[in-house]
Structure 1
Amino acid sequence: MLKGQVNMQTAWQASPPRPGPVRHSSTPGCSPDGFTLLEALVVLALLATLAALAAPSLSGLRQKHQMQSQAEQMLGSLMLARSEALQRQQRVTLCVLGLGGGCATEGSWGQGWLVFVDGNDNAVRDSTETVLMVHSALPPFLKLKGNATVNRYVSYGPEGRSQSISGGFQAGTLTLCVPGQTAAWRLVINAVGKPRLETASMPSNVAC
């Protein structure tokens, strides 16, 4: 071997090994991304608190949505009764739904309602009279009540006017509300029987 030449094998053996990839020891309670178990628990606790704070607000929004939906359905039922009376040239009545599927003698509109062809003009559904629609009971938190003139039924004559069973015009107001809340909906039936839906506010001294 010439002077000055380096023995490659000797040089390789003498050179120190290259450092390999650094391996971090796993510390208990620490995730690979750097979040400790305590930090994760704090985040979960904050999320749970925010969800709890948002729950009443979401519940209130759901109730408002359901209240509006039920008010619109009652309006649709009144309009159906009126249009069917005109089309059939017969009295058509909408009444509070009773246990046996007929008209209730007591209770309120929250029990549900029934639209039927009232062939004998008595605002009571007889077994032979045609049922046009049935609406089931409202959710328990909703209250639907009518004033004295429309607390049991609303009836339309052949000319499309609302009429009591005595033959007089039948005007009135149905109120849909949630106990403890001021926001409400009203269905107002005018002297010729045309219904309209409007928002309302319950006075503090008037129970829903």
Structure 2
Amino acid sequence: MTRRRRTENEATRPPLIVRPLDASTWDAFARLVEASGGVWGGCWCLGFHMKLGRDGLSWAQRRAAKEQRVLAGTAHAALVFSGEDCVGWCQFGTPEELPEVKSRRRYEQGLVELPQWRITCFFTGKGQRRRGVAHAALAGALSEIARSGGGTVEGYPEDTDDRTLSGAFLHTGPMAAFEKHGFIRTRRVAPHRWVMTRTVTAGDCP
């Protein structure tokens, strides 16, 4: 697609808006997950809530487990919409809600105090890349955190270091998005993965 045609197509698309994941947006979220093969091998965005792989849960059971958390208010995400369609999201929550982190041993070695919030994963639907979905989702997550009282927030993005990576390796978020939104690198927990932190003030609009 030429740059001119891409620009023309973008001009006709609805603007991106962000809404929280809750009972009213569950169906739109679920449609995107289903259209994307369950996301990352069928995890249904549960991988930071619980250990997957040996859980023995079927696709339907994972879907139900995620929905149950959403309805109970223990699963949070900033969903990015284009018109009526959910096109991506950023998941966030407390450490109690999202206890599973990557590179746990290295993470715990350098841990001084748990954060109030974690930003754990991002997803952008097919055909929606380079629209700023991840940036919009992260901004939405930070706004939701501010409305919920703010506090210290951690993210765990992968530094590409000029490497070309598939989206599967960047599910914890693009480093550039975190830097744009004021996060700083706190410590390295893997060859290319960092803990990044910032403090969000209650009531702020990051």
Q: TM-score, normalised by structure 1?
A: 0.26
By relative contact order (CA 8 Å, sep 6+), the higher-ranking structure is: 2
Q: TM-score, normalised by structure 2?
A: 0.26
